[in-house]
Structure 1
């Protein structure tokens, strides 16, 4: 029976997608057809199979999950989401070092959803993705992490500080030292802003290149399996991805110490 139910869900994209539609509530056949491709007869053939296996039922002209369907999809839905994330960009994910992500968040990787893989050419290697730069111009909140030095970041984030954008930044000790020593003006802007907070970690604590969460996107740079930063980044505009990224940021933040602000900026 277990194999039969799993086959019912996974051996047909129409059946799987119909069940995913009904997770959100009852739907008419017209509403189901709007989200699926194929003829009415082809869709109805798959709905009939779902009926026969007791996964859906019809009431007042609408289809909905049965209790068995709800139980099954509650377990299967996270798996489907995870497979969608990993299979769409399989070559990227299989070559990433995900050791910095706690198990609780790895279990939720499906929440990242549809992503853009940013793979810059040689002339733009150390520049943030344009999607992130555009987002920074209008966002009211930013949480960001860097374990490598991004040449444009001191100016980008000092501008946010001067605009009193709410932002928190996690830096490795070596990146923080360079920011403080070589970019004094920008550092002072960050440290005197009432809405900015800096957190520092030892260089070998966090095995993650970068992480930025704004009001409308999340940008993540994982190291590859060789522990190298190859400049490839994941960008997602999904709200669930932003929540996932923020939970990852908070996980790191809890381990670190905050840079105390002083009344007078450094000279």
Structure 2
């Protein structure tokens, strides 16, 4: 098969695509392929022959295992991020279409596929703060906490002060507006947080994303394109790739922030 047919070969058949990505993990017997895709031999055999004809895979004569060819591996490694990205978008198209993504730098937008194993928590209209219960429960189980907040929740000053007093390493980046609100309405808690041994506070002019990343999870919420914050929808990741993406997003904002020192 000519190479110009490879794109249609992989995009027009979900089974061929999934088989390519399955074999990228490791060679497999026909029995395991059938079990993986819950199909009979007559159902999967045509797909295998098509991919063999395209020189994407072959049956190793010594092991009897179906294996990706060198070309197949090259294509699969390049194809997987695209598939992961599409799968992520399709999980919640409204989240990506309706929200302002300008708070995420381009190089991390290019790596959105790293969030492929995320979960979307969408609150019911009658209780728009359900997701924040999940948020605080996961925070309580974390050993290191970093976050950016352009928003204010009444429970946050007390909550983060308690973490600070328990010597949980915590680094927060607040926008100037949020800092002013906390300073004037929760001065004692602000002082207690800043006086704690393992806390740091940074200030930033503005941010179009609210998130927390810890050693346990990464949670992100966004603003609508209208400029209003969306309190109902959180993207949450518990896997290593998602947490690393969150750490990289935090480092981006940390590089733009100014460290706050009490008394200055």
Pick closer, same or farther for the CA change 1:53–1:157 going to 2, 3 Å. Answer: same
Question: Which residue is 1:265 aligned to?
Answer: none
Question: Which residue is 1:73 aligned to?
Answer: 76
Q: Please state whether the residue corresponding to 1:129 is helix, strand or coil.
A: helix
In the TM superposition, 1:116-265 aligns within 5 A as 116-122=119-125, 124-125=127-128, 129-203=132-206, 206-208=207-209, 210-231=210-231, 232-261=233-262
Distance in 2 (alpha carbons) for counterparts of 1:172 and 1:128: 22
Asked if 2 retains the 8 angstrom alpha-carbon contact of 1:170 and 1:199, the reply is yes
Shift of residue 172, structure 1, vs aligned partner: 0.3
In the TM superposition, 1:47-58 aligns within 5 A as 47-58=48-59
Shift of residue 123, structure 1, vs aligned partner: 5.3
Distance in 1 (alpha carbons) for counterparts of 2:163 and 2:215: 13
Shift of residue 229, structure 1, vs aligned partner: 0.8
Across the aligned residues of Structure 1 and Structure 2, the Cα RMSD in angstroms comes to 2.0
Asked if 2 retains the 8 angstrom alpha-carbon contact of 1:118 and 1:129, the reply is no
Shift of residue 127, structure 1, vs aligned partner: 6.3
Question: Which residue is 2:9 aligned to?
Answer: 8
Pick closer, same or farther for the CA change 1:13–1:128 going to 2, 3 Å. Answer: closer
Pick closer, same or farther for the CA change 1:62–1:178 going to 2, 3 Å. Answer: same
Distance in 1 (alpha carbons) for counterparts of 2:146 and 2:159: 13
Question: Which residue is 2:104 aligned to?
Answer: 101
Residue by residue, what CA displacement relative to the aligned partner does 1:80-139 show, whole Å, maximum 9, x if unpaired? 111111122112211111112111111111111143333324554356523222211111
Shift of residue 207, structure 1, vs aligned partner: 1.6
TM-score (norm 2): 0.90
User: Which stretch of structure 1 is more off in the superposition, 167-176 or 226-235?
Assistant: 226-235
Question: Which residue is 1:20 aligned to?
Answer: 21
Question: Which residue is 1:89 aligned to?
Answer: 92
TM-score (norm 1): 0.89
Shift of residue 6, structure 1, vs aligned partner: 1.0
Distance in 2 (alpha carbons) for counterparts of 1:34 and 1:151: 51
Task: State the 4+ residue runs in structure 1 displaced beyond 6 angstroms.
Answer: none
Aligned residues: 259
Distance in 2 (alpha carbons) for counterparts of 1:117 and 1:168: 25
- Ranges in structure 1 where 5+ consecutive residues have no aligned partner: 263-267
